[in-house]
Amino acid sequence: MNGVNSEWNKCYKIWVIHSILYSFSTSISMTYYQAYAIKILGFGVNEIGNITFLNLAAISLGNAIGVMLLNRVRSKRVLLWKAFTTLNLVFWALTGFSDIVMPRAIYTFVFVAQFGGAIGGLAYSDTIADTIPKSKAIEIFGKVNAYVLSSSVTGLSVATVIFLFLDVRESYRIIYLMSLATAIASAGVLYLITDLVKRENIKVSLQQFYKKISEVIGDNAVKHYVIFVTLFTFFVNVPGALWNYYIIKIFRGTEMWISLNTISSTLANAIGNYIFGKASNRISHKNTLAYSTIPISLVPLLFLFSNSFEKQVMLNIFSGFGWSAYNLMTGIYNLYLAGEDRVYMISLLGITTNILAAIATRLGAAIASINMLLMQLTFLVSFIGRLAMYILARRYVIEI
């Protein structure tokens, strides 16, 4: 028993250190890539829509391929986690060097990063779900999320200071060098982790994959949950390509706005994770998930009136707390609702949510490029659609 506990503690520490470094790196590379594309590459709203579309489409493709690949080499799932997460980390960091290669290289970097992240994420979820008992999941994930979010705040704070003292182009070069260095360090630490639970390989053909997905979605609890999350994700992403564009072009904001928006949202998220983690034994998963959609729904509506730096920060504190509850609850549902078939449900969610999110983002960007009134309309559509999902969650999502 002591040997098992010792191995668990070792893997837990490696996982935490990797996660902290991962968060530091990606908080920089993913937070600023749209602003970098606008400021350094000179992209407009349609091109930002294209990048965001590829971002989401790559995740969908990765989930479609990843579940079959994972089953075929499930005994080596930690190797998949390591290899594809490394791609995710390194290629996200490389987005900030697109001006050196060629502006449109950012499309390739983002696509490969998210494709790798989707497959790495499936392997990670399958491994962690076998390692952490459901009874302790909220407590452990709440604690790890607090470390991760703290690291994210640190990365963004350092980036903010750099933007204050250097010109824009130099700032982007330095912060993306930092992102690349910590990406390599994170991948190096992840290399040390081992799988504590061994799984057998399963050869899954495309026909078998479709059959298994059909069986999983045949469960009403899974079907209703997938529909809820997919539709909610669609409405969330209608203005997906527009937030930073609106801040920079309409509100005349700077990278400081984006930095402190993300920091305030992340801190609120960390506080929310702590609160919901502590209250995990006393809260209803279903009710918490449903009610979390209400503050999230208000965000796009309030955004249109948040035309100052202070209002943006307050809005992101409000948003971050709402998202902490939603993300924590969906994390638990994703790992445990479908039981042993979780990898198929997670894959299905990855495919459906990201296909619809990609469509919503591209559609929103196309509409927004016509005129200002239609750009604002995309935020209103997002508000109404998100709010409608509260009713769906209350009526159809089961308690877990």
Q: Rounded CA gap, 365 and 180, in Å?
A: 30
Q: Rounded CA gap, 354 and 33, in Å?
A: 19
One digit per residue, pLDDT tens: the chain, 400 residues?
A: 444 467 777 888 888 999 999 999 999 999 999 999 999 999 998 899 999 899 988 988 888 888 788 888 878 888 999 999 999 999 999 999 999 999 899 999 999 999 999 999 888 888 887 777 666 776 777 778 778 888 988 999 999 999 998 999 999 999 999 999 999 999 999 999 887 666 666 666 667 777 888 888 888 999 999 999 999 999 999 998 899 999 999 999 988 899 889 889 988 887 887 787 777 667 788 888 999 999 999 999 999 999 999 999 999 999 998 898 898 889 888 878 877 777 788 878 888 898 899 899 999 999 999 999 999 999 999 999 999 999 999 999 888 7
> Which CATH architecture describes the domain 2-396?
Up-down Bundle (1.20)
Tokens of 115: 């494709």
Query: Strand, helix or coil at 359?
Result: helix
Q: Rounded CA gap, 225 and 338, in Å?
A: 10
Q: Rounded CA gap, 396 and 331, in Å?
A: 18
Model pTM?
A: 0.82
| Domain boundaries of the chain, sorted by first residue | 2-396
Contact yes or no for 90/177 (Cβ under 8 A): no
Find tokens 């997938």 and name the residue. 226
Q: Rounded CA gap, 337 and 129, in Å?
A: 12
